[in-house]
Amino acid sequence: MVASGQTFSQPEYTENFYEAIGGHPTFVKLVDAFYEGVADDEILRPMYPEQDLRPAKERLLLFLEQYWGGPKTYGEQRGHPRLRMRHMPFRVGPQARDAWLRHMRHAVDRLDLAPLHEATLWDYLERAALSMVNAAD
Ligand code: HEM
């Protein structure tokens, strides 16, 4: 318990994950690095309906920020994520999943996170990618 009259600065263990890993700049760095990989990927690049990848990049950024406790802009703009449903128009087979995860792995590595943060983020991304598969190759 906190003794009355004492004030404490926010200890690290009560921060949300979004803040703990550096907030907005960290998430921007993550999606920028990820989309650099997507832009040159022969499986993933043709899947994106828009010529310009920036709007898709922005949607992923906003989603991840909201998921980890940052601003809720994704929900305001896009509503409930329903990610599996939103991926149904795209054929996400094991090859696309592996390509997605490969670029995301490079992107996560560029963040130089503390090991526990890195493991937490990666575990989520890996499980999310597995759950998005909706087709065989
Ligand atoms: C497994 C491989 C995956 C593939 C091949 C894939 C591919 C795509 C494609 C082609 C789009 C449409 C681009 C657009 O927004 O216009 C999209 C949208 C999106 N993806 Fe994925 N994705 C994958 C996994 C994931 C995962 C694991 C997440 C989350 C952790 C994710 C989050 C999103 C989000 C937030 C959108 C935008 C949804 C919206 O608001 O419309 N994707 N994805």
* pLDDT, tens only, 18-59: 999 999 999 999 999 999 999 999 999 999 989 999 999 999
Q: Which amino acid is at 38?
A: V
Contact 15, 68 (CB under 8 A): no
In this prediction, residue 19 carries a pLDDT of: 95
pLDDT above 60: residue 107: yes
Tell me the C-alpha to C-alpha distance, in Å, between residue 114 and each of 11, 25, 106, 132: 17, 16, 16, 27
Question: What would the two tokens of residue 40 be?
Answer: 């040159």
Q: List Cα–Cα distances, 121 to 21, 30, 116, in angstroms.
A: 10, 11, 9
Confidence of residue 15 (pLDDT cuts 50, 70, 90): confident
| Residue having the nearest C-alpha atom to atom 34 of ligand 1 | 60
Residue 84 CA, ligand 1 centroid: distance in Å:
9
Q: Is 111 in the pocket of ligand 1 (CB under 6 A)?
A: no
| Cα–ligand 1 centroid distance for 76 (angstroms) | 18
Read off the pLDDT band of 8 (50, 70, 90).
low
The average pLDDT across 51-78 equals 97
From the CB of 91, is ligand 1 less than 6 Å away? no
pLDDT at 12: 55
Residue 66 has pLDDT above 90, yes or no: yes
Residue 5 C-alpha to ligand 1 middle, in angstroms? 48
Look up tokens 């406790």; give the residue: 69
Q: Of 4-18, 93-107, 115-129, which range is least confident?
A: 4-18
60 CA from centroid of ligand 1 (Å): 7
Q: What CA–CA distances, in Å, run from 137 to 38, 46, 56, 80, 93?
A: 18, 15, 23, 29, 5
